[in-house]
Amino acid sequence: MSHENSPRNTPGGASVSAASDTASQSTAPAKPIQIKVVLLGEAAVGKSSLVLRFVNDEFQENKEPTIGAAFLTQKVRLDDSVLKLDIWDTAGQERFHSLAPMYYRNAQAAVVVYDITRASSLDRAKSWIKELQRQANPDIVIALVGNKLDLASDSPSANSTSTPEVHDDAADTEEAPGDAGDENSESEGRSRQIATATASSYAQSAGLLFLEASAKTGEGVVETFTEIAKKLDLNKIAMTSRGARAAQLNSGNVNANLLSEAGFAADGSDGRTRANPDNCAC
């Protein structure tokens, strides 16, 4: 079910899920509306796994941690429009934090993920949400998503899935950044620590969409993106997107400060010839 249509060789290509298959054929050839979505959240909460489930309908046990950020696309159909979701899946590690604004800048939607079995991850999610509300596009649609629902004993799906202990091995190798005093011991993180009501009432007060999901079973994953799509002001986005895209293109110019920052200045301290900005990038 998953591998045949996983568009590994053609990222950004026409990866269309079963749900949206018909969009390309039947309806009028309306140009897809491009939506930038960013995923944020603590390390090892399952951001990449949610995206992989949504885009390729697959799940990898022991997924390697994301490095930097990964970019994937998926088309979805909503009523008469086709949306092309440009999804930025960011790394949760602390050292990438300073890069985050690059990904949520101009984003129309954000999925902030926590792990329902790790209390600290909701705090991290809340601080991401604060940052988004302060610094991101004021119209941004934010969804708070509690992942690893398959590990919750109160979830109906818990009965059908086995071996929860292999679910998040990645968590064992990743320290929760920033809160060394509050060690998440590894024996924790195996059962629910965050009640649905707690997160839900927070989400309501902060004006967020709220869902619980499991990348492993697929529960709630498509719903997350559908709910976001429904909440977007598509008319407004369609109107402004052309201008925004042009602006994005312009920001692709190499600027001289960055070049010198990266070592293209002619200091030659290690004795090797360095390219100078005049003849390397232009």
Partner 1 sequence: MDANGTIQNAQRHTYSLEDIEAEERLEDFHSPEWRQQSRHFLVLSSAGKPIYSRYGSETQLSTLMSAIQAIISTFADMSDPVKSMMVGNYTMVFYTNGPLYLLAVSNSMDPDELLRGELQLLHSQIVSILTSAQLTKIFEQRGNFDLRQLLGGTEGIIDQLVDKMGIDFTFSLGSLDTLWMRYRLRDRIGKALVNARAKGVLYAMLLADMKLVTLMRPRKHSLHPADLHLLFNMAASRTFSTGEHWTPVCFPKFNDQGFLHVYLNYITPSVALILVSADRDSFLTMTECRQRITQDLSTDDSLLRLEDAASQRALRPYELGVTGLLQLYYRHKMLVQHFGTRFEESIDENQQRRIINTYKRLRLYMTKGGPNPLRIMYHRTATDTVLAWQSSAFELYATVEPSMDVKTMIRLVNTVLEWIKNEEDHLFVINAPSY
What is the contact surface with partner 1 in residues (CB under 8 A)? 6, 8-12, 43, 51-52, 55-56, 63-72, 89, 91-95, 99, 102, 173-175, 177-178, 180, 248-249, 251-255, 258-259, 261-264, 270, 272-275, 279-282
Please state, in angstroms and rounded to a whole number, the distance separating the CA atoms of residues 39 and 65: 14
| Comparison of 163 and 279: residue with beta carbon closer to partner 1 | 279
Measured CA to CA, the distance from residue 274 to residue 263 in angstroms comes to: 8
- To partner 1, the closest distance from the beta carbon of 241 in angstroms equals 14
Rounded CA separation 64/156 (Å): 28
Contact (Cβ atoms closer than 8 angstroms) between residue 68 and residue 91: yes
Is 175 or 188 the residue whose CB approaches partner 1 more closely? 175
CB of 15 to partner 1, least distance (A): 10
Contact 205, 198 (CB under 8 A): no
Smallest gap, in angstroms, from Cβ of residue 251 to partner 1?
Answer: 5
Q: Which CB atom, from 164 or from 177, has the smaller least distance to partner 1? A: 177
**What's the closest the beta carbon of residue 252 comes to partner 1, in angstroms?**
4
Residue with Cβ nearer partner 1 (28 or 180): 180
For residue 101, the minimal CB distance to partner 1 (Å) is 11
Cβ closest to partner 1, residue 34 vs residue 133: 34
Which residue pairs from 166-171 have beta carbons closer than 8 angstroms and sit at least 24 positions apart in sequence?
A: 166/61, 166/62, 167/61, 167/216, 168/44, 168/46, 168/115, 168/117, 169/61, 169/62, 170/43, 170/44, 170/62, 170/63, 170/64, 170/65, 171/43, 171/44, 171/115, 171/118
